[in-house]
Amino acid sequence: MDHIDGIHRYRSIWISDIHLGTRGCKAEFLLDFLRHTDSEFLYLVGDIVDGWRLRKSWYWVQSHNDVIQKILRKARKGTKVFYIPGNHDEWLRNWVDVQLGGVELVQDALHVTADGRRLLVLHGDDFDGIVRYAKWLALLGDGAYELSLKLNHYYNLARRHFGYPYWSLSAYLKSKVKNAVQFVSDYADAIVAEARRRHVDGVVCGHIHQAEIRTIGGVLYCNDGDWVESCSALVEHFDGRLEIVRWVELNALDPLRPAARAEGAFEPAA
């Protein structure tokens, strides 16, 4: 990574699960990330716009426009931008292999890292049995997730009043509830099996809002997280090294005040 004039430069960036069109979307944080990073490749790994939520009720603010405009501006300036639709923006799958505003819509992608590793890039919903075979249950779960985000917001306002730090309810439930933990494990195993089938070295995905990098049976599994809670991205340095960047933690941003940037945040690395 190069750091020049307050801009972090990477070879590649993967982001997903932004969910523009929802109140839970941290568009201001993502816009801050996009303004302070640059890359040769930018992969949008699905659920960028939340069509499920927009069909129920319309919510679209200026910061959501700003994110789209910033991505299009990067494409115009030479960043190779690929958009892989997910289940929440699945209508775009009818337009794969079309280029829109310099952004290439693709079903999935093959990325070769600087050190020669071949990575399959896909959203991942095809490997979620609930989404594939019981969409009504997925829609019900989406509503429950939205409710947990609202409860989490007010709960953290109360925690702050009493001097406690920010705490994520949904992240806690994912880590502690046995079925949720098993789901994440099964999901990763299914994705890795697809990577093996396609004879690649690893896979990059999103969908489950849980950022991590790990090796499963000799196959590299990378999940870039989301921009609803973790505000994370997967990045590739110019030597091919991969890293999860957690933007809120890195810049000491306030999760309850998306527009506020901490004093002295984003200083150059020593």
pLDDT tens figures, 53-64: 888 888 999 999
Phi, psi of 199 (to 5 degrees): 60, 45
For each of the domains in the chain, give its residue range(s) and CATH number, in order of start. 9-250 (3.60.21.10)
pLDDT at 112 over 50: yes
Average pLDDT, the chain: 84
Strand, helix or coil for residue 15: strand
Q: Between residues 71 and 251, which one has the greater pLDDT? A: 71
Measured between alpha carbons, how far is residue 42 from residues 14, 89, 173, 251 in Å? 6, 18, 31, 21
pTM: 0.79
Q: Give the DSSP per-residue string, 134-149.
A: -HHHHHHHHHHHHHHH
For 77-100, what is the mean pLDDT? 94
pLDDT at 191 over 60: yes
Question: Rounded to whole angstroms, how far apart are CA atoms 245 and 15?
Answer: 10
pLDDT tens figures, 219-266: 999 999 999 989 999 999 999 999 999 998 888 777 667 665 544 444
Say what the pLDDT of residue 145 is.
62
Least confidently predicted of 158-167, 176-185, 190-199: 176-185
Say what the pLDDT of residue 258 is.
65
- Angle 190-194-197 from CA coordinates, rounded to 5°: 135
